[in-house]
Structure 1
Amino acid sequence: MTDQPYDLRKVIEELKQQPGQYHETNVEVDPDAELSGVYRYIGAGGTVERPTREGPAMMFENVKGFPGTRVLIGAMASRKRDGMILHHDYKTLGRLLKDSVENPVKPVKVSKKDAPSQEIVHLATDKDFDIRKILPAPTNTEYDAGPYITMGVVFGSDPDKTMSDVTIHRMVLEDKDTIGMYIMPGGRHIGHFQKQFEKLNKPMPITINIGLDPAITIGATFEPPTTPLGYNELWVAGALRNQPVQIVDGVAVNENAIARAEYVVEAEIMPNETMQEDINTNTGKAMPEFPGYDGDANPAVNVVKVKAITHRKDNPIMQTTIGPSEEHVSMAGIPTEASILELVDRAIPGKVVNVYNPPAGGGKLMTIMQIHKDSEADEGIQKQAAILALSAFKELKTVILVDEDVDIFDMNDVIWTLNTRFQGDQDIMVLPGMRNHPLDPSERPQYDPKSIRFRGMSSKTIFDGTVPFDMSDQFKRASFKKVSDWKKYLE
């Protein structure tokens, strides 16, 4: 496996060597709500309904109704496991991704014979073609609008094929050859390309790539301004692995696919055509989203017509995730950490030591910034760092500032800071009437008519838990003896 290019299977083999990081089961599981329900107890983490915990990645090898297929969930549902997967200290993954963005490695094209993702081909023109029978896509709850592709990396290009990009979207299987795709307005390059195709009244060819090396999945979630229009996030994955991602021509559409994916859905986004997301259920709900609530079904998602599905011949793996889980925190949070670090390192170098986007914010809504102050001239720089992050990344809602002696990955330590180095009347800064993520249910005009004019607006808050520089000698933590051989007492 050492010389083999990175893909999901190589990562799984590496995880098998790490105790407690991977588990597979042959017990039959129903992909309709049961699979996610089981993993909730085993290792979903994040803000999934309690009880949940940090646990192993799970491979379900006996999926009801889908013989010969497997479903993997939770590969990235642990920050420490993410470090193992990327061969890096989990506490500095943000800096690793920042460096990867700055040192891109572009993909390479391979032939179809060297693309495992195209070993088996199902064409939409085939008799009995039905995506719902080929893809073991789970539903996360009994109220979902249908089976969802939650970890499908969409590859698309502009009409002139001068730019391409990869992004992740919410995609529900609507009927035998139709997918409903939610493209969030603004920010996503695939959405920009799609609008260009709509102006030409042409369908946009895409591939939806499922079952990937997590380096691809994590890299795909970068957004502007860190990766501007024209920057394809597959370049990040290439840098993370120090080897280019392999891509291949599609079999039914004029677009590239990821050659070492487990499944590829080849399709077209139809121009100026939408449909009701929950047309099959009418529950009003889509699926659980990263803030921890069910997302409202969108009345007008983009219509995607499937032209082909290709996959590996040997027990292909459907990779999935739970919206509010620790896995989403990894995919959304670590690239955001990298983006914040890239911004503050340029603006105020040396003052932000590290950044963490914790599960409490779903990886997007909250960041904890570790601040370094050299002198009294640095007092106030911490608030500038927070404002920089909030202004550049509109989905951030809450920033907590702490000193260097605080472990930003330990929420007990962070909250301790807000109890012993913080006074609410002077250490809170509120910025009302700003844009944020529309999936936060508190961002409605009826919640706060004064500052929320339209849904998706929010007040943003900075909690300054840093000690004033001239008082630092009064906030020394109790210092315990360093014992290097403490582990012998556990033997």
Structure 2
Amino acid sequence: MKPTKKDISSLRSTLEYLKENGELVSTDVEVDPHLEVAAIQKHFDGGAPLLWEKVKGYPNARICNNIYATAERIARLFDVDDPRKLKFKAVEAIRQPLPPIVVKDAPCQEVVITRDVDVWDVVPMISHSKTDPGRTLGAGNTVVRGQHFWGGSHIGYNRMNFRGPDYSSFQISPGSHMDQIATHWYKKGPIPVTINIGVPPACTMMAGAGFTYVILPRGCDELGVAGALQGFPVELVKARTQDAWSIANAEYVIEGYVDTTQKVWESPLAEKEDQQGKYDFHPEWSGYMGKAYRTYKFQATAITHRKDRPLYYGLIVHAMDDHFIDVTMREACFLELAERIVPGLCIDTNIPMGMTDWGGVIFQVQKRRSRDEGLQRNILSAALSISLGAKLGIVVDEDVDIYNMEDIMWALATRVNPKDDILTVCEGGFGQTFQPAERSSAGDRQWTQSNIRFSGGMAIDATRPFIYKDAFRRASYEVDMVDLAKFYTKDQIKKAKETQVDYAKFMADRGI
């Protein structure tokens, strides 16, 4: 059988590869972008890539999602055999970006709409839950390049709700790159941007890498990092109505500008009641319902898209698909942060789903000598300080599996002195309103960033003291010295292991 040719230069070529590989689940049954797409994806959370060929109200559109719902699939897209090693490839991409190139003609501009712009007529935005303020745009990747990003390129997510045919709210996370841009250019004129929908996988991965700006500072080349990750430059094309750039292989692009002189409410109910941070938006990465705020205004000036049935990437936010989009580059950034603080000490990082994408990180270190002692806490404190709103950081030794949460719990239960090893970092500092624990600190005042105070991040040092390393040697059994086949048949071995729960199997395989 001829091996399937892989092309990840666009979303549609990636879908074609997944289809030929037998992974894509598609349907010709018409789907409603209002609630149905999100509900179906949640049913298949962590499962196969999904494609809807027919979309209610949009005869020329298709919707897809769930492509990034497993770490194994993402790693394979980027030619990495072990998904745990993808972050190491991403670190090299951060260190050696491959700058984007400019093309004159692009698939994303096969159709250009500059008059009577109506995003609702063209883009099949989805709604997530019954309490959403309607169908919203969460799939767009904002691109800012050139002078408005200090000579570099930025790509990220900004949730949007089109309150009219051509204007929208534009949610900006406090402290983010887009917040830095808006702060610098505040009331100095329109900020030209493009909202790119249905982009190549590497661009999607890069867009999720929020709040690690010590490693990816303003003026860096985030699209260059995406290019290095995929192994070839990202192609850009000049926008038709703005001094901005579009991802050439995107499916849809909304051109426009952010107006920092005007505000738009994210929700009609929040606007009616004049209350920020109280009424529901869609579910958010923290695992709680997002809340509606008043934001800067995004004004659309054009819509461009592919002619042949463009794809809308209608992802839901609190799901494995979004989780791996958010953490793939963040894990790499934390690994690079640790390497810059003390080269060679940190050997791996992991952000499990329970840490809610931007809510925390686990470091694995290997102490080499007694004077390494304490450096693990420098890493933890730095990570929780630079990643605004991060609530939990854990560091463990090389003999603990950071991908097995029961093993993490074992380390916490057996290696942590609650008096000395649990630290509070940045108490009273800057947090995130996406976390209810932070929002509620505003009390009777409006639950906005200006009124909250960060309760602090919890740093837990679950490493053994280097000088007492031998006292913490894990229990071990000589599983490698016996050959089970000498005593039992294959069926007997299989039957005997059928009832093993995951952690029992984990310990049995390692003889611990």
Identify if the C-alpha distance between structure 1 residues 348 and 159 changes in structure 2 by more than 3 Å, giving closer, same or farther.
closer
Distance 2:361 2:176 in 1: 20
Q: CA RMSD for the aligned pairs?
A: 2.8
Match of 1:174 in 2: 163
Match of 1:455 in 2: 452
Percent identity of the aligned residues? 29
Letter aligned with residue 468 of structure 1: P
Deviation at 1:195, TM superposition (A): 4.1
Identify if the C-alpha distance between structure 1 residues 73 and 4 changes in structure 2 by more than 3 Å, giving closer, same or farther.
closer
Identify if the C-alpha distance between structure 1 residues 278 and 401 changes in structure 2 by more than 3 Å, giving closer, same or farther.
same
Match of 1:47 in 2: none
Distance 2:186 2:196 in 1: 23
Give the conservation status (yes or no) of the 8 Å contact 1:94–1:337. yes
The DSSP-based 3-state class of the residue aligned with 2:476 is coil
Distance 2:308 2:476 in 1: 57
Match of 1:28 in 2: 30
Distance 1:6 1:346 in 2: 32
Deviation at 1:243, TM superposition (A): 0.8
Letter aligned with residue 183 of structure 1: I
Deviation at 1:3, TM superposition (A): 8.7
**Stretch of structure 1 that moved more, 374-383 or 73-82:** 374-383
Letter aligned with residue 29 of structure 2: V
Distance 2:286 2:192 in 1: 31
Report whether the alignment pairs 1:263 with 2:266: no
Report whether the alignment pairs 1:205 with 2:217: no
Equivalent of 2:10 in 4, 7, 10: 7
Asked which structure has the greater CA Rg, the reply is 2
Letter aligned with residue 132 of structure 2: D
Distance 1:285 1:350 in 2: 45
The DSSP-based 3-state class of the residue aligned with 1:307 is strand
Distance 1:348 1:159 in 2: 33
Distance 1:195 1:462 in 2: 30
Deviation digits for residues 33-72 of structure 1 (CA, Å, limit 9, x no counterpart): 12111211111xxxxxxxxxx2112112222221221111
The DSSP-based 3-state class of the residue aligned with 2:336 is helix
Letter aligned with residue 48 of structure 2: P
Match of 1:49 in 2: none
Superposition pairs for residues 345-356 of structure 1, below 5 Å?
345-356=339-350
**Stretch of structure 1 that moved more, 329-338 or 317-326:** 329-338
Superposition pairs for residues 161-240 of structure 1, below 5 Å?
162-188=151-177, 190-200=178-188, 202-222=189-209, 223-240=212-229
Deviation at 1:376, TM superposition (A): 2.9
Match of 2:337 in 1: 343
**Stretch of structure 1 that moved more, 401-410 or 388-397:** 388-397
Give the conservation status (yes or no) of the 8 Å contact 1:292–1:324. yes
Report whether the alignment pairs 1:118 with 2:109: yes
Distance 1:160 1:55 in 2: 37
Superposition pairs for residues 82-161 of structure 1, below 5 Å?
82-88=74-80, 89-112=82-105, 115-123=106-114, 125-126=115-116, 129-157=117-145, 158=147
Equivalent of 2:285 in 266, 290, 295: 290
Match of 2:275 in 1: none
Give the conservation status (yes or no) of the 8 Å contact 1:73–1:319. yes
Distance 2:390 2:230 in 1: 29
Q: How many residues align?
A: 470
**Structure 1 spans left out of the alignment, 5+ residues:** 44-53
Deviation at 1:333, TM superposition (A): 1.7
Distance 1:265 1:483 in 2: 63
Report whether the alignment pairs 1:76 with 2:68: yes
Distance 2:148 2:416 in 1: 53
Identify if the C-alpha distance between structure 1 residues 453 and 6 changes in structure 2 by more than 3 Å, giving closer, same or farther.
closer
Deviation at 1:108, TM superposition (A): 0.7
Give the conservation status (yes or no) of the 8 Å contact 2:149–2:181. no
Distance 1:448 1:310 in 2: 44
Give the conservation status (yes or no) of the 8 Å contact 1:434–1:460. no
Q: Which has a greater percent of helix? A: 2
Letter aligned with residue 442 of structure 1: A
The DSSP-based 3-state class of the residue aligned with 1:435 is coil
**Structure 2 spans left out of the alignment, 5+ residues:** 273-277, 495-512
Distance 2:457 2:260 in 1: 36
Report whether the alignment pairs 1:439 with 2:447: no
Match of 1:40 in 2: 42
Q: Please report the TM-score for the alignment, with normalisation by the length of structure 2.
A: 0.85
The DSSP-based 3-state class of the residue aligned with 2:160 is strand
Match of 2:263 in 1: 274
Give the conservation status (yes or no) of the 8 Å contact 2:153–2:223. no
Match of 1:62 in 2: 54
Deviation digits for residues 208-259 of structure 1 (CA, Å, limit 9, x no counterpart): 1010112111113344111222113101111012211111111222211111
Q: Please report the TM-score for the alignment, with normalisation by the length of structure 1.
A: 0.88
